[in-house]
């Protein structure tokens, strides 16, 4: 009888190993992180698998989760919509690098009778989200939109209730254009909102806006385009009112960029750039040996990163993502070239 019990335990014990080891195939890479670029990544990875037979297993668990899993070396690469700040970098056991993959934008969508095309200035936007402008017929909004008859409606602010890269980009923008916002609220993926209702996900915010006359909220550009929502043109630093679009987002990234690419694109100095935009990144260890990868796997990862930032870029526009600008692509190349394995550089295969 004892044998039976031992067998039972042994069975349970070995079962837990089977699930653990099945992940370690050499022609397979694992990543986890941001949900925002997930549709693009899954397209790129499936094309990559067709071209090179390397399977990439990407789990869209959220930027925070991606960063944590990279830190714990559970995945080969992480992905995030917000770059890791200096404090966060210190928590990693070894240096990591950020490789930009695509850029996205956040648009202000609203529900007003007749769906007018609104123009919003930075001061109007911060006023609304700080709860200081509470009515649509406010003189400041009227001044920026002389051609539109504004309804006598209360403004109802809708924001994301879940922690989100979208919220980070939007609050980063507000922090740059408004001192009061910077002091009272600040930037982050989850905030202490001065006014408004929270809804979960882009879909939740969009649904709430559609239901409530007078509502205004922020959603990802891709989401607004796919769902034909009305959104505002926003005045940028050069004073131009810019419609959010793939072109104006790419234009926002056409500026002086730092070498490590940890940069926010909000409140861009580009003349035709849409001011509420940001990169999304793939994160890897600078020395891939520190990430627990084998040499072969490290080479596979380098090939993948190069492909994503070059051949893979053509899948961006059809899915409403902004492809990397030339400047950004050059910087990404330099970063990929700087990645090493055990101190030695890896091969770069541009035509791969």
Partner 1 sequence: MKGDRLFRIVLWIVAGLFSAMMVFMLASLLKESLPSIKAFGMHFLYGKEWNPVVDKFGLLPFLVGTLITSVLALIISVPFAMSIALFLGMFSKGGFWPKILGYGTDLLAGIPSVIYGFWALFFLVPIVRNFEMKAGIVPYGVGIFTASVVLAIMIIPYISSISKEVIKLVPRDLIEAGLALGATDLEVAKDVVLPYCRSGIVAGILLGFGRALGETMAVTMVIGNSNSLPKSLFAPANTMASVIANEFTEATTTLHLSSLIQIGLWLFILNAIVNVIGMLIIKKMEVK
What does the binding site for partner 1 look like in residue numbers (CB under 8 A)? 1, 4-5, 8, 61-65, 67-68, 88, 154, 156, 161-165, 185-193, 196-200, 204, 207-208, 211-212
Q: Taking the mean position of all CA atoms in its chain, how far away is CA 155?
A: 28
Minimum CB–partner distance for residue 94 and partner 1 (Å): 19
Straight-line distance from the first to the last Cα atom of the chain, in angstroms, rounded to the nearest whole number? 60
**Which residue number, 116 or 163, has a Cβ lying nearer to partner 1?**
163
**Which residue number, 185 or 249, has a Cβ lying nearer to partner 1?**
185
- Please state, in angstroms and rounded to a whole number, the distance separating the CA atoms of residues 168 and 166: 5
Q: Taking the mean position of all CA atoms in its chain, how far away is CA 83?
A: 9
Minimum CB–partner distance for residue 67 and partner 1 (Å): 6
Minimum CB–partner distance for residue 108 and partner 1 (Å): 19
**Which residue number, 39 or 213, has a Cβ lying nearer to partner 1?**
213
**Which residue number, 185 or 229, has a Cβ lying nearer to partner 1?**
185
- Please state, in angstroms and rounded to a whole number, the distance separating the CA atoms of residues 189 and 141: 28
Task: Please give the DSSP secondary-structure letter assigned to residue 189.
Answer: S
Residue 96: exposure state from Cβ atoms within 10 A (0-12, 13-18, ≥19): buried
Q: Which of 314, 309, 188, 308 is nearest to 246 (CA)?
A: 314
**Which residue number, 37 or 204, has a Cβ lying nearer to partner 1?**
204
**Which residue number, 174 or 293, has a Cβ lying nearer to partner 1?**
174
**124 near 233, Cβ under 8 Å?**
no
- Please state, in angstroms and rounded to a whole number, the distance separating the CA atoms of residues 14 and 9: 9
**Which residue number, 97 or 199, has a Cβ lying nearer to partner 1?**
199
**309 near 333, Cβ under 8 Å?**
yes
**219 near 202, Cβ under 8 Å?**
yes
Minimum CB–partner distance for residue 167 and partner 1 (Å): 9
Please report which helix (H) or strand (E) contains residue 89, including its range: helix 86-90
Minimum CB–partner distance for residue 185 and partner 1 (Å): 7
Minimum CB–partner distance for residue 296 and partner 1 (Å): 32
Minimum CB–partner distance for residue 129 and partner 1 (Å): 14
């Amino acid at each position: 009888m004892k044998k039976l019990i031992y067998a039972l335990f042994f069975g349970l014990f070995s079962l837990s190993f089977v699930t653990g080891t099945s992940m370690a195939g050499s022609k397979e890479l694992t990543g986890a992180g941001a949900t925002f670029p997930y549709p693009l990544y899954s397209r790129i990875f499936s094309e990559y698998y067709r071209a090179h037979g390397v399977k990439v297993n990407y789990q869209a668990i959220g930027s925070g989760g991606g960063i944590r899993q990279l830190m714990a070396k559970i995945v080969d690469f992480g992905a995030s919509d917000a770059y890791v700040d200096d404090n966060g970098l210190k928590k990693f056991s070894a240096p990591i690098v950020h490789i930009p993959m695509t850029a996205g934008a956040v648009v202000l969508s609203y529900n007003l009778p007749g769906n007018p095309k609104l123009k919003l200035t930075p001061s109007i936007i911060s006023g609304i989200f700080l709860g200081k402008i509470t009515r649509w017929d406010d003189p400041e909004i009227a001044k920026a939109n002389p051609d539109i008859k504004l309804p006598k409606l209360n403004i109802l602010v809708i924001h994301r209730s879940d922690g989100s890269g979208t919220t980070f980009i939007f609050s980063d923008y507000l922090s740059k254009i408004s001192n009061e916002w910077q002091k009272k609220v600040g930037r982050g993926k989850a905030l202490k909102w001065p006014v408004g209702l929270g809804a979960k996900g882009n879909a939740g915010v969009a649904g709430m806006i559609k239901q409530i006359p007078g509502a205004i909220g922020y959603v990802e550009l891709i989401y607004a385009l796919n769902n034909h929502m009305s959104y505002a043109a926003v005045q940028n630093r050069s004073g131009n009112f810019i419609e959010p679009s793939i072109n104006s987002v790419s234009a926002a990234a056409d500026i002086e960029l730092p070498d490590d690419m940890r940069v926010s694109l909000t409140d861009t100095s580009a003349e035709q750039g849409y001011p509420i935009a940001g990169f999304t990144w793939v994160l890897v260890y600078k020395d891939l040996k520190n990430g627990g990868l084998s040499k072969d796997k490290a080479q596979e990862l380098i090939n993948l990163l190069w492909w994503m930032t070059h051949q893979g870029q053509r899948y961006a526009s059809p899915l409403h993502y902004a492809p990397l600008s030339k400047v950004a692509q050059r910087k990404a190349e330099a970063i990929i070239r700087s990645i090493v394995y055990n101190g030695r550089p890896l091969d770069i295969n541009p035509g791969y």
